Chain A
Amino acid sequence: MAQTEAELLDNPVEGNPTLILRSPDFHAITEVVAETVERPTPIGWWFFFIPSVALLGLLGVAVSWLFWEGIGVWGLNIPVGWAWDITNFVFWVGIGHAGTLISAILFLFRQKWRTSINRSAEAMTIFAVMCAMLFPGIHVGRVWVIYWVFPVPNQMGVWPNFRSPLLWDVFAVSVYGTVSILFWYVGLIPDLATMRDRAKTRARQAVYGFFALGWRGSVRSWNHYESAYLVLAALATPLVLSVHSVVSMDFAVSLLPGWHTTIFPPYFVAGAIFSGFAMVVTLMVICRTAFRLEHIITLRHFDYMAKIMLVTGSMVGYAYATEFFTSWYSGNPYEFFTFMNRALGPYAWAYWIMITCNVISPQIFWFKKARTNIPYLFFASIVVNIGMWFERFVIIVTSLHRDFLPSAWGYFRPTIWDISCLLGSFGLFFTMFCLFVRFLPMVATSEVKTVLPQADPHGQAGAQHERRDRRALPGRGPEPAPGSAY
């Protein structure tokens, strides 16, 4: 099986790379995707769901204790005033970026391979942003007045400070979450209609039908729909680049050595895409194996994703080197001390975990054997996410723990509640993802069908499928776009 798939990868049919293997017809695509939602809950699903819900419960306990007792239950204290809370926030918001890159940026670049993975990657984005929004929400101490971050008219006549990057962050992340949900929902409408039309029970028909909004697949509707989808992609593209740039400004706008650098916005965006693709690989390996979607999410998809990880991982490595060089070249002793302290100081262990996982481990993706080896990809994707979590930890904690005066130096150690919050956020993420694969079609079938050869009304394969011998009227209709099958 794996052998055949690898062969097909190298021998694309008639010069067009085969995105979907085993040449299914339209109905077969609907069937294999809808079946994952319609069949009785598989036992294996519970093996993922129950531990996820248990971790979610842990999050509930940890957050409740935090609210009851206060921020002191965490290990952070002056000089390390931000620690795992903001590390987790930046980590999760970064994970989300790959979903938007796949759904919006690759759409604008006409990368048709995205159709197999965009739905689940967008779902991943939404759940990652939920996890991300949790941490700034709970780290403020007096959580019951968190609504003060929004410009709500109030009896005190007080308004938030719009000139602060922290407030930009509130707007960037909440707009990002909202737009991601809108984009995802618009993409879901045709597939919800599919679920409605296939529903065997009245309840399923009513629920899927309600959210399908009465979609009838009308070409007049598709015309507006495709326009909306294109516009949303064009809006989400600058948005996603702005979000992690704004997140990086939480640090870069401060005057702290190690944070106050202009390289942060592009460096953070590259790191976000790097970690996000690693998470997509982790999830897709599990999904395609568990739901037997090997012919839809193929080795070609993993090959491409590994290449993106190689590129973004190398960009991150380049940024680490540039930071170091700049700290030396600046001639600023505080700046240089911060970076030497990162690599050789008390947190050197974290720094070298970061370098090993993020810079060294993806270099094996120069080899195609590694890019198409599923067990290795799965392993590497987890390694990369460990590394990217440590990157944020290194940036935040090592810059803070050595203050300007040695008498104010400290060393951050996490408490059990720090660890519970991090593990619990994974519980939230995986609980949501389990519910997603159980109740919603995890592949965008209406998009995957468009990349099948027979979907092209002018293509050779389309002509082969014609039941009657009829010629296209001369001079009618557009030429197939060059490279349209890719």
Chain B
Amino acid sequence: MAFASLRSLMARPPLVSQLPEGPYYGILAEFATPADLYHACEHVRDEGFTRWDAHTPFPVHGIEKAMGIRRSPLPWIVLVAGLTGAAFGFGLQWWVHASAYPLVISGKPYFSWPAFIPITFELGILFAAFGAVLGMLALNRLPMHHHPLFQSKVFERVTDDAFFISIESWDPRFDQSATRKLLESLGARSVELLES
């Protein structure tokens, strides 16, 4: 499981905010409620689409299963970052007190490791937190201030109360009219073709 998610991480395209060339970006369909979106996602998933996404104003419970998305590999990034931070913190203190600047303080040995634990812990947490935030942004390809979806006027409501499915035109199963019909049959309130 863990290795699978790491492999999927490595198999992903490079971390550049670049989209393939094409006349259209894809199709954007709006749905009325989280429940509508959930069922539509299940259908789109079962149709075998791969280059598509759903957009919601808040995390809808369980929808990643309806979309067939795997768990985020982020915790592994955080683990590595945290261990790096802790090792760095411990190593720094060891090096300073046993090698670079050895001073006898309160008669303690130079390498008095129990006294190094608080700072080791703090630096582990610090690195792990940066790993979580920067790792999340990298996995999400953020920041990306320009995106074809922002052309759509209705898409402005994605951060308010609207629910969307977007299917990208370079999906192998994408067909301009058939995909539009599929989304309409799933109960989309509006369907819109977006230019690239």
Q: Taking beta carbons and an 8 Å cutoff, which residues of A are in contact with B? A: 25-27, 30, 151, 157-159, 161-165, 167-168, 171-172, 175, 178-179, 182-183, 185-186, 190-191, 193-194, 196-198, 209-210, 213-228, 231-232, 235-236, 238-239, 242, 246, 249, 445-447, 449-450, 454-458, 462-463, 465-468, 470, 472-473, 476-478, 480, 484
Contacts and interface: CB of A to CB of B under 8 A. Distances in A.
Question: How big is chain B's contact interface, by range?
Answer: 35 or more
A472 B6 CA distance: 33
Interface of B: 32-39, 41-42, 53-67, 69, 71-72, 74-75, 78, 82, 92-93, 96-97, 100-101, 103, 105-106, 108, 112, 115-116, 118-119, 121-123, 125-126, 128-130, 132-133, 135-137, 139-140, 142-147, 149-150, 156-161, 187
A468 B36 contact: yes
Contacts of B116: 162-163
Contacts of B36: 466-468, 470
B62 A457 contact: yes
Contact of A162 (B32, B97, B144): B97
16 contacts: A26-B58, A163-B115, A165-B118, A179-B126, A190-B159, A194-B159, A216-B149, A219-B59, A221-B140, A222-B59, A225-B59, A235-B125, A445-B57, A468-B187, A470-B36, A477-B66
Most chain A CB within 10 A, of B57, B61, B119, B121, is at: B57
A458 B58 CA distance: 16
A157 B159 contact: no
A162 B120 CA distance: 10
Contact of A163 (B59, B71, B105, B149): B105
A476 B46 CA distance: 12
Contacts of B101: 157-159
A225 B157 CA distance: 20
A231 B62 contact: no
B41 to A, nearest CB: 8
B129 A224 contact: no
A466 B108 CA distance: 70
A398 to B, nearest CB: 26
Contacts of A446: 57-59, 159
Most chain B CB within 10 A, of A218, A219, A477, is at: A219
B97 A216 contact: no
Contacts of A164: 105
A231 B74 CA distance: 9
Nearest to B53: A218
